[in-house]
Amino acid sequence: MNLAVFASGKGSNFSAIAKAVKEGRVKAKLKILVCDQPQAAVIRRAQGTGVRVVLVCRRDFARRLDFETAIAEKLEEYRIDLIALAGFMRLLSPGFVRRYFGRIINIHPSLLPAFKGAHAIRDAFDAGVEVTGVTVHFVDEKVDHGPVILQDGLLVKKSDTLASLEKKIHLLEHRIYPQAISLLISGKCKAPRRKAK
């Protein structure tokens, strides 16, 4: 199975996936990193592992459709079977999601459906919850929505700060994202079928 990771930032989840592939815990070929930020640290991480970087900047395209078409052309060129979003900070259009429905997954730092959005860890911390966690799910046309593949939780201690909670959440992400990808590849988790309209 050919895998693409989409990321825009530091790339710690990219590194966790790349390590799992290298160690044989994920039986896939990590073919490309798709990135939309030329200064993103994830690019150096990918270069360090020998994974080809596909840099596609939104500002280079007049329309989002053209931007996503350029990405899709690369996905076809590298015969990508599965897309793992790992901090890709652009919403994909409904058309793009429909095209790859059942083949796009995302990781979110909360126990969905709780705390959707870009600041989930902070929102959970500010809400004073005793338990939070991480969700890997299939991507559909709604934000932070879609069938769950894997979830795992952790206790929020009274001594936790926002920084310590963020660190614990990121470590949990690095553990369960490769597990979720492996579940898909092994067939233990089936991709959803699009409902007929």
The CATH code of the domain that includes 76 is 3.40.50.170
- Residue 149 counted as domain residue: yes
pLDDT higher than 60, residue 197: no
pLDDT at 122: 98
- Provide the residue range defining the domain that includes 124: 2-186
Asked if the structure places residue 196 within a domain, the reply is no
Residues ≥6 apart with Cβ < 8 Å to 73: none
Give mean pLDDT, residues 91-106.
95
Q: What is the mean pLDDT of the chain?
A: 95
Domain assignment present for residue 29? The answer is yes
Total count of domains within the chain? 1
Indicate if 108 belongs to the active site.
Answer: yes
pLDDT of residue 99: 94
Query: Is position 135 within any domain?
Result: yes
Is residue 188 very low, low, confident or very high in pLDDT (cuts 50, 70, 90)? confident
Per the rule left: phi > 0, alpha: psi between -120 and 50, beta: everything else, 11 is left
Whether 55 is covered by a domain: the verdict is yes
Does residue 25 sit within a domain? yes
How large is the average pLDDT for residues 82-93? Answer: 94
The arithmetic mean of pLDDT across residues 4-15, rounded, is 97
Given the residues 108, 119, 137, 145, the one annotated as active site = 108
Please give the pLDDT value at position 192. Answer: 82
